[in-house]
Structure 1
């Protein structure tokens, strides 16, 4: 995800490139009022840069992501009567508008067709898209589209609930609200009863009648 002509810390970056970004951060922190240079803050620019690098590791992909198996359906490959739901899957992301964190829980479900996905891979998929600069709506869309492409299932459901620090620390400073987003594909989009069952399995019974 490297933009043409712009420096990147992804891949093999020389030490002087890291140092240059740390120096920029030191200048910014000092302008904001942080007394950089004390025993407690001397390494703050380096720590902050490393923390950002770790928080955006989703740009590097995940080679262990896709492990698919044949379905456990007996008598055929049509599993449309059964859904697989995983969650809550905790996630942390950085809002691309203010670079402040938003975090919460993801619930992912699908109706298998000819194959199923290793359950740990659903967690890996959530973390892949969450560990980038993003917005909640995009993460849900990416999860739904990726599962649709990987599994070719009968249907996909994604429900995210998150708290956004950009609304709590700044702006309206709303400390009580959370944001919920849902994405439906295939049979979930067509069947309100199936969506209600998904919400019930997610422990979101209050939403079961509003799918």
Structure 2
């Protein structure tokens, strides 16, 4: 068990360290005032028992929903691989999912939410299974786009573990399409990221989807 400390990965290490955002009480109070002005202008009556604290609750909820920017130092711990040179070491997949996630679209600041599935083929190192969930959430609990979340998850796993391959599949509902715009009623956006052996071998991609309990045909 050790902490990943490759000097070439300093940017990654910095992004994973705990970097608590410093928002003062004065700033929070100012932001609440802005929110109150907007809500009132848009028609919300803030002079009722149910709504008088809505601006404060909204700002606090927005802050909590973007806590991914604070980093997660627990993600730095990795372990030696459990594979001891067996013939299938370069084929055996570690797969976790479905991992529920919630994010805020950076285009409209409206939520999108869904499930993530993450897999990798270990080389010299592995990561604790719970850390895959942490990895999904550190990037989804930000202002984001779905495609980037998948790329960031794959980039981080590659940097941490230098695995033989990484697979990431996300499917999500986007409220920016359901509440406004085209107003689709139940659309799902699906994105995939393949790295290493997964990018080269359709059978590994098919195995990944099977392990996830998903019916997909990869060619």
Partner of 1:128: 138
Q: Give the TM-score of the pair, scaled to structure 1.
A: 0.91
The answer on 1:22 being equivalent to 2:32 is: yes
The CA deviation at 1:76 is 6.6
Query: Is the 2:123–2:164 contact (alpha carbons within 8 Å) kept by the matching residues of 1?
Result: yes
Distance 1:24 1:42 in 2: 14
Question: How far apart are 1:37 and its partner, in Å?
Answer: 2.2
| Root-mean-square deviation (Å) | 1.4
TM-score by length of 2: 0.88
Q: Does 2:159 correspond to 1:149? A: yes
State which of 53, 71, 75 in structure 1 corresponds to 2:81.
Answer: 71
Tell me, in whole angstroms, the C-alpha distance in 2 between the residues paired with 1:164 and 1:37: 32
The aligned counterpart of 1:95 is 105
Runs of 4+ in 1 over 6 A off after TM superposition: none
Alpha-carbon shift at residue 92 of structure 1 (Å): 0.2
Could you tell me which runs of 5 or more consecutive residues in structure 1 were left unpaired when the two chains were aligned. 1-9
Aligned positions, number: 200
In 2, Cα distance between equivalents of 1:176 and 1:15? 40
User: Which structure 2 residue ranges, 5 or more long, are not aligned?
Assistant: 1-19
* C-alpha displacement of 1:204: 1.1
Residue 45 of structure 2, aligned match among 35, 40, 54: 35
Shift of 1:210: 2.9
Cα distance, 1:66 vs structure 2:
2.3
Residue 7 of structure 1 is matched in structure 2 by: none
Tell me if structure 1 keeps the 8 A contact 2:203–2:218: no
SS at match of 1:163: strand
Instruction: Provide the residue aligned with 1:171 in structure 2.
Output: 181
Cα contact 1:160–1:181 (8 A) shared by 2: yes
Instruction: Give the aligned partner of residue 5 of structure 1.
Output: none
Tell me if structure 1 keeps the 8 A contact 2:169–2:190.
yes
156-165 vs 60-69, greater mean Cα deviation: 60-69
Match of 2:60 in 1: 50
Contact 1:66-1:117 at 8 Å conserved across structures:
no
User: 1:78–1:113: 8 Å Cα contact kept in structure 2?
Assistant: no
